[in-house]
Amino acid sequence: MKFRTFAAFVGPSVLMMVFFIALPLVSVFLESFKVTQPVMQQVEVETCTPGFLTQTCTTELKTIPVIGADGKVETTTQWQGLQSYRSVLQMDKVWAAIGSSEIGSILQIDFWKALRFTLMYTLLTLPLVIGVGLIIALTVNNATRALRGPIIFVSLLPFIITPVIGSLAIYWLFVGDGILTAMMERWSGTNISMFAQAWTVELLMYFYRVWHVAPFAFVIFYAGLQTVNMDTLESAVIDGASRWQRLRHVIVPHLMPLIVFIALIHLMDCYRVFEEIVGFRSQAHVISLQWLTFDFLVPDDAGNRAISRASASAMLTMVGIVFLLIWPLRRTWRDHRGGAH
Amino acid sequence: MLKKLALAGVVSLMGTTAWSACAFENTTEIKSLSAGFEAWKAVTDAMAECGNVQAELDQEFRTKQPAAFEANPSLYHIGGVSNGTITPLLNAGTIRPLDDLVAKYGSHLKPNQLIKIDGKVMAVAMMVNTQHLMVREDVLSEMGIPVPTTWDEVYAAAAKIKDAGKMDTPLGATMKSGWNLAQEFVNMYPGFGGALFNDDNTAAVNNDKGVKALETLKAGMQYMDPEVLVSDSTYVQQQFQQGKIAMANLWASRAGAMDDEAESQVVGKVKMVAAPMAMAGGAPATTLWWDGIVIAKNISDEEADAAFRVAMEGLDKEMVMANNDAAIWLVDGFVPGATAEGAIATATASPAAPAYPSTTRMGLMHTALGNEIPAFMTGERDAAATLAAIEEAYTTSAKEAGVLK
């Protein structure tokens, strides 16, 4: 292809990527080393607010921002080095906890608590998603032609549902006397509260994520199964290979690039787990890294948001994703190079 | 079918009469942004009668409002705020003093309604709100329990109801982790006489009053739904309506829902009383809130004029008479019904419950409380460590926000 044609095709998307991915990333990176604050002053203010019949007036020393000549709040911006990262990571406490060998107390710190869950969640759902996706794909592939359409349709449904709606649906099914909790209570005869302790909440989250993402793996695997070399399969049958041996030695090696691809996408997506936390209202028990960033960013009633710490937390999340992706990326890279020769 | 048509006719007729309920015809385009609960719906509907009014009722208003009012011209003319959410607008100076407009169009306003900051009217309040005790009167009187006035009595009553096998979880609470749970502490801690801050803006919760407040909150959990850490006002309201709980310290704005025949199975059985005291002789362990309107600064004087007139139409006697039970109105014409008793008893108690403070540091403290208290409620951390963590979290965010040096 001529370079001009190539550039004309690729140019727009490169431009978009620069604008919508690279520049925001640079800005967040810089923001994580800065702090922007309003200039505050202490003023004595009399505030009169209503009771039911009469007003109560209180005079107190309030800290309020200075309004500049242009009618806007005056702010100052300072470089503060790694301060935001220190506030998020709280390494001094981590070292203290390791020093006194109370490793558990590390998990009291928001960031480490979130990291523990995010990592465990990502790594545990990965094999489940791949496994369940493969099972559905094999089932559909072996089903009679007439049944395939309906099965594909039904198994794709969870993937189509918007994540927030999906997690809310599961929350409503199980919270309080939700339909499914009520059913489980009738079966077991005991009172079940799925959202009262951390492990049941986490269990529901694992269930939700596998339910939601397995159809994606299924679609990819199903497409891959259509290209399995029939000659190899037939010769395996003639050689007396059992169903399991055919799966293990013919089908799975054939699907390996797809498995790596799904692992790649899943690691990236799952490390940004967020909807489950909001949908399940699990903040008391379980939080994730992405939720932590969100929590820093949401303004409180007084309008404060912790932009610097949110930036630091976002950068740390990105570093985490990069670490997780090193293995599958290296593998794909090797495969590609291998393919070229 | 005929009946339906006739009904539709009546409704449209009502529409036209309602249209003429506005004293003037508004020709300026006016937009408002407020919370979405029942009282705001009543007020904005009444405002809309004047014509050319676009009301946006959005539960995310607190995120949108500061930025929308900072734009020039402001994206909204009228803002619906409470004493919590007025803070960013006051701080940024994006709302205008209303003294002139009140003199011109607000002669019917009660002095109690005028929110004054340093002598200037910055907002006009329309209602008060507070968390107060709601009890199932029938259950209590059946078991011979007097209406509780302190938290100890509430727990004793809950224990009796639970032991008698009447209800498994006699107590409800808005303890959803985050804002709601933090608010429970903000109610309880001043009830023990605690102050949240020192004069130099540093946090002051790490003391024995803080420990008492936390332990009182936790002591109630044994009488509550095990999932109480996800339960917000709507959840508690539904627990009441379905007859699952007998007592809860719940927002006055939810009182009307108890007698809503379409939703509630306990119509007429829920009695509203003052918020319980944390210690005998103290103030009710709750905070007083108000909701009201503000007018944007970055709009022309003519627009402000029209916006204020429209708002006054929204806050008039006719609106209150038509929606008497939707809120504890401060507006003239309000007839306190049975559902208002609890809020009025709370607001007029002596010593009185404090108003929720509209300060920058309070926003930071509220977030710190909401993030750190859950670990105490789940038993991961003891009270002293939790209070230390709250102070630390507050200090970190206060430094970032410039409140602390």
Closest CA to A155 of A252, A222, A203: A222
Average pLDDT, chain A: 90
CB atoms within 10 A of CB A7: 11
Burial A152-178 (b: 16+ CB within 10 A, else e): beebeebbeeebeebbbebbeebbbeb
Measured between beta carbons, which residues in chain B are less than 8 angstroms from residue A116?
Answer: none
As a whole number of angstroms, the distance between CA B178 and CA B369 comes to: 8
Counting beta carbons within 10 angstroms of the beta carbon of residue A135, is it exposed (0 to 12), middle (13 to 18) or buried (19 or more)? middle
Reported as a pLDDT band with limits 50, 70 and 90, residue A341 is: very low
Domain A108-340 sits in CATH at 1.10.3720.10
What residue has token string 């507006």? B331
What DSSP string describes B20-83? TTSSS---S-EEEEE--SHHHHHHHHHHHTTSSEEEEE-TTHHHHHHHHHHSSS-S-SEEEEET
Reported as a pLDDT band with limits 50, 70 and 90, residue B22 is: confident
B375 and chain A: CB distance < 8 Å anywhere?
Answer: yes
Closest CA to B356 of A51, A298, A299, A53: A51
- Residues 289-318 of chain B with CB under 8 A from chain A are 290, 297
Task: Write a three-state SS string for A195-209.
Answer: CCCHHHHHHHHHHHH
CA R_g for chain A: 27
Reported as a pLDDT band with limits 50, 70 and 90, residue A331 is: confident
CB atoms within 10 A of CB A19: 10
CA triplet A239, A242, A244: central angle to 5 degrees? 135
B150-160 pLDDT tens trace: 999 999 999 99
As a whole number of angstroms, the distance between CA B302 and CA B316 comes to: 21
Tell me: pLDDT of B115 over 70: yes
* Angle between the N-to-C axes of helices B38-48 and B301-314, in degrees from 0 to 180, rounded to the nearest 10: 120
Dihedral sign (CA B336, B337, B341, B346): negative
Least confident of A328-332, B131-135, B168-172, B326-330: A328-332
B347 and chain A: CB distance < 8 Å anywhere?
Answer: yes
- Chain B residue with CA closest to A281: the answer is B230
- Residue of B174, B239, B356, B359 to mutate, testing the A interface (most A Cβ within 10 Å of its Cβ): B359
Closest CA to B290 of A303, A47, A50, A54: A50
| Yes or no, beta carbons of B90 and A64 under 8 Å apart | yes
| Yes or no, beta carbons of B116 and A194 under 8 Å apart | no
Structure tokens at B215: 């332990």
A177-222 pLDDT tens trace: 889 989 998 998 888 888 888 899 999 999 999 999 999 999 999 9
Reported as a pLDDT band with limits 50, 70 and 90, residue B338 is: confident
The pLDDT of A18-41, averaged and rounded, is 93
Name beta bridge partners: A65. Answer: A40
Structure tokens at B196: 């949240």
| Yes or no, beta carbons of B115 and A64 under 8 Å apart | no
- Residue of B95, B360, B369, B405 to mutate, testing the A interface (most A Cβ within 10 Å of its Cβ): B360
Tell me: pLDDT of A142 over 90: no
Counting beta carbons within 10 angstroms of the beta carbon of residue A103, is it exposed (0 to 12), middle (13 to 18) or buried (19 or more)? exposed
Measured between beta carbons, which residues in chain B are less than 8 angstroms from residue A175?
Answer: 227, 230
SS3 B288: strand
Counting beta carbons within 10 angstroms of the beta carbon of residue B8, is it exposed (0 to 12), middle (13 to 18) or buried (19 or more)? exposed
CA R_g for chain B: 22
Structure tokens at A78: 């300072």
First to last CA, chain A: 21
The alpha-carbon gap from B4 to the nearest alpha carbon of chain A, in Å, equals: 35
B283 and chain A: CB distance < 8 Å anywhere?
Answer: no
Cβ partners under 8 Å of residue A259, min gap 6? A130, A252
Report strand pairing: B53-57 vs A34-38. Answer: unpaired
- Residue of A39, A49, A72, A83 to mutate, testing the B interface (most B Cβ within 10 Å of its Cβ): A49
| Yes or no, beta carbons of B328 and A46 under 8 Å apart | no
A312-326 pLDDT tens trace: 999 999 999 999 999
- Residues 44-63 of chain B with CB under 8 A from chain A are 62-63
Dihedral sign (CA A199, A203, A204, A209): positive
The pLDDT of B251-258, averaged and rounded, is 89
CB B133 within 8 A of CB B274: yes
Half-sphere exposure of residue A66, counting CA atoms within 13 Å on the CB side? Answer: 11
What is the amino acid identity at position A154?
V
Can you tell me the ipTM of this complex? 0.84
Measured between beta carbons, which residues in chain A are less than 8 angstroms from residue B176?
Answer: 281
Structure tokens at B194: 């605690």
A263-309 pLDDT tens trace: 999 999 999 999 999 999 998 899 999 999 999 998 888 888 899 99
Using alpha carbons, list the distances in angstroms from residue B13 to A224, B73, B203. 65, 37, 58
CB atoms within 10 A of CB B9: 10
Maximal C-alpha separation, chain B: 72
The alpha-carbon gap from A113 to the nearest alpha carbon of chain B, in Å, equals: 11
CB B143 within 8 A of CB B247: no
Measured between beta carbons, which residues in chain B are less than 8 angstroms from residue A193?
Answer: 225-227
